[in-house]
Structure 1
Amino acid sequence: MSAQYDLSGLNVLLTRPAGQSESLSDTIKCCGGSVCELPLIEIEPVTDPDACERIKSRILNLDQYVAAIFISTNAARLGMSWIDRYWPQLPTGLSAYAVGPGTAAVLGEFDWPVHCSDQGVTSEHLLALPGLRNIAGQRVALFRGVGGRELIAETLRERGAQVDYIELYRRRTPDYNADIVAEMVRDRKVNALVVTSAQILDVLLHFVHNDPAVLGSIPVIVPSARVRDRALQAGFSSVIDAGGASDAVILESLGDIANAVR
């Protein structure tokens, strides 16, 4: 993958949660680019006893569901950790669904066949999969963090399914200096931003404070049209929809940026 792109001249700010950018960072450097890392979301597994009991109860009853939907790589990793505790073998008849190939890849590590759209990485693409269309009268487990979009659950309930949340983690904003993004852009000469979720975009906007040095000149790579539109509405002037959040599509977009600045 690294030989495909010449990223010399790029200094890329990566904003994924800590520990989730190593592969992308290494590849960017192998391609001649530079990297700054500033995690804009912290992922904290649920630990309070009542919430853990709710998770355990639903995990123990997984054989009553026909579908398990994982909305992120964090949901997949933490969800499989819980499942491994109580199910040495996966329940028969339980189908796995993933939002995006990164999430599907995590589930694939557990030899679980996964349904994942090859048309896109959004909730809407997931909901278009054949196995989730005629779901009336069935139970669906939705693995996710606390809060977030309700579209998947609302749509499946409209189709007649019973949807139960299994909320495994919370997202928190790091306690950074308010001007940290602008300082990194200025002092480290960042000329590309990677934002892989709507939540990370919201935190970035919180720290940017409408700074024209960030909004007006630096390309930002986002994973979907929905996040692209949100970034443009917020004032970013150069937004690239990578069509996903995987390393491969982000590198392709970075390659386009590098070619444009030469």
Structure 2
Amino acid sequence: MLLTRPGRQAEGIAARISAAGGMALSLPMLEIEPLRQHEDIERIKAGILALDQFDIAIFISTNAANLGLEWIRQYWPQMPVGLSAYAVGPGTAAILREEPWPVYCSDEGVTSEHLLALAGLQSVKGKRIALFRGQGGRELLADTLRERGARVDYIEVYRRRVPRYERREVLGMMENEGINVLVLSSQQILESFVQLLKPDDGKNASLDPAQDKEQKALLSLQQQLRVIVPSRRVLETARAAGFVHVTDAGGADDDAIFASLLRIRPETESP
């Protein structure tokens, strides 16, 4: 199977797959880069130093939690009194629970919509909320909380970068290694993977035998691959992109992904 998480974030699930008798290769479709420019550092520092003026801190990913806590620990030996933490997903919540502050996470799912359904985020009029995230991304959380009367400030601690791969080499590797399961653990990772496999604009495949072969290989992958995604929203995007066999793991953490892999295992084993 092929894992697409950034860098070393795939190591845990890869080890579990190996221990269960499977083989996992890694092709990171995103790279996470902490913000290091002077203006970014000053902006982050200002937000961290003002953290005692906030009522709620929301962390949208494990990367936001890890890097956010790294910053907070530099300036706050103890968590600011009265500050509550909210996490998107159990993996993010587990990181935040390393500190002695109340941490809230939806048991129903791993999307912004699930987080927004929590009781503690309903009556937020007049409250200040710090939203830890990477540069860019969905605006649903902030927009909805502002509609509910909260003041929301972003503390952006990293940026995402899409690695460059050669389409032909990736398709060849997947065919040669017999990849039959693809794990796409976020919406942006899915979009990056789809973009990688997208045919070059302006080329006529019927006049290019090599490209025609690639198109056939891509079609075969879309029809045969078992694809694991973390949520219903990503599942719908994957199906719209042409993937036929898509499973919603109900989370992007190792436990959710591994449980889904075990469920589809009978479909991927040779008779």
Normalising by structure 2, we get a TM-score of 0.90
**C-alpha displacement at 1:184, in angstroms?**
2.1
Residue aligning to 1:137: 126
Alignment of 1:92-107 (within 5 A): 92-107=81-96
Q: Deviations over 1:218-258 (max 9, x none)?
A: 01100000000000011111110000011111111111221
Which amino acid in the other structure matches residue 132 of structure 2?
A: F
5 Å matches for 1:1-262?
A: 12-209=1-198, 211-262=218-269
Deviations 1:85-128 (A, max 9, x none): 00000000000000000000111123333100111111001001
Amino acid corresponding to residue 262 of structure 2 in structure 1: G
Distance between the aligned counterparts of 1:191 and 1:145, measured in 2?
A: 31
Aligned residue type for 2:179? V
CA distance in 2 between partners of 1:93 and 1:191 (Å)? 49
Worse-matched range after superposition: 177-186 or 219-228: 177-186
Give the drift of 1:179: 2.5
Q: Deviations over 1:9-56 (max 9, x none)?
A: xxx100000010111100000000001101110001111111111110
State the distance in 1 between where 2:100 and 2:35 align: 26
Helix, strand or coil at the partner of 2:100: coil
1:213 deviates by 2.6
Change (3 A) 1:103 1:180: farther
Matched residue of 1:19: which SS? helix
The one-letter code of the counterpart of 1:76 is: A
Distance in 1 of aligned mates of 2:174 and 2:51: 47
SS in 1 for 2:167: coil
Whichever of the two has the greater Rg, that structure is: 2
Q: Secondary structure at the match of 2:9?
A: coil
Which whole-Å CA distance do the structure 1 matches of 2:67 and 2:221 have between them? 34
Number of residues of Structure 1 aligned to a counterpart in Structure 2? 251
**Is the CA contact 1:180–1:207 (under 8 Å) kept in the aligned structure 2?**
no
Partner of residue 202, structure 2 = none
* Aligned-partner residue type, residue 86 of structure 2: Y
* Structure 1 contact 182–213 (Cα < 8 Å) conserved: no
Q: Extract unaligned runs of 5+ from structure 1.
A: 1-11
1:165 counterpart SS class: strand
Within 2, Cα distance between the matches of 1:180 and 1:56? 42
Amino acid at match of 1:21: A
Which runs of no fewer than 5 residues in structure 2 stay unpaired? 199-214
SS of alignment partner, residue 24 of structure 2: strand
Question: Once the 2 structures are TM-superposed, how far is the Cα of residue 58 of structure 1 from its aligned partner?
Answer: 0.8
Task: For 1:18 and 1:109, locate their aligned partners in 2 and report how far apart those are by CA, in whole Å.
Answer: 23
| Partner Cα separation in structure 2 for residue 113 and residue 229 of structure 1 | 34
State the TM-score, normalizing by the size of structure 1. Answer: 0.93
Distance 1:93 1:181 in 2: 49
- Mapped to 2, the partners of 1:216 and 1:207 lie a distance apart of 17
Partner Cα distance (1:131, 1:181) in 2: 45
